[in-house]
Amino acid sequence: MKRLNMGRRKVLAAMLAVPATGLLAGCGFHMRGNADFAFKRLYIGIPANSLMGADLRRAIRGGSDTQVVADQKEADALLDVLQDTRTKSILSITTEGVVREYRLTQRFTFRLRDPAGNELIAPSQLVLTRDLTYNEANTLAKDYEEQQLYRDMQRDIVQQLMRRLAAVKAI
């Protein structure tokens, strides 16, 4: 009797798994995998020793079969970083004039072109913002939280950039 119940459970689980997979595929859900870029050699115009440059190179090497090259002449496509800035502005203050919240913003402007100079992606800007509450009593903790928020924004920008690069279909 127990064998029959175990067999029924397996069959029911299999029957439920097939429609669930179909529903996920139908809604546009895709597992993260390798990005399929139209170019196989990419030059990135941002220093490799910068945090953004290191994250971007790591994402391209680990998430695609595209090779990052150091010389523009060897590249099939060139990624020009036009702007990569972080700003911190006051969002709100208390009645005593003490800062209560900050708004953190990261702007990343780029374009993608082929070696002949034709634009594959026109200059585009990715802008992310996060709000940060502030308390003078926890200065060190809030400084750490600020750095973590900037780091998360940077990771988000790299993922958005990877999707934009994958959208280019032909060189």
What number is the average pLDDT over the span 55-68?
91
Is 85 a residue whose pLDDT tops 90? yes
Give residue 34's pLDDT: 67
Give residue 53's pLDDT: 92
Which stretch of 101-105, 117-121, 147-151, 166-170 has the lowest confidence by average pLDDT?
166-170
What number is the average pLDDT over the span 95-104?
93
Distance between CA atoms of residues 171 and 164, nearest Å: 14
Is 31 a residue whose pLDDT tops 50? no
Is 25 a residue whose pLDDT tops 70? no
Which stretch of 19-28, 77-86, 158-167 has the lowest confidence by average pLDDT?
19-28
Longest CA pairwise span in the chain (Å): 75
Please report, for the chain, the start and end positions of each structural domain, with discontinuous segments joined by +. Answer: 1-31, 36-167
Q: Is 17 left (phi over 0), alpha (psi -120 to 50) or beta?
A: alpha
Q: Which tens digits make up the pLDDT trace of 33-59?
A: 567 788 999 999 998 889 999 999 999
Is 26 a residue whose pLDDT tops 80? no
Q: Which tens digits make up the pLDDT trace of 135-151?
A: 888 889 999 999 999 99
- Domain 36-167 bears CATH identifier 3.30.160.150: yes
Distance between CA atoms of residues 46 and 60, nearest Å: 14
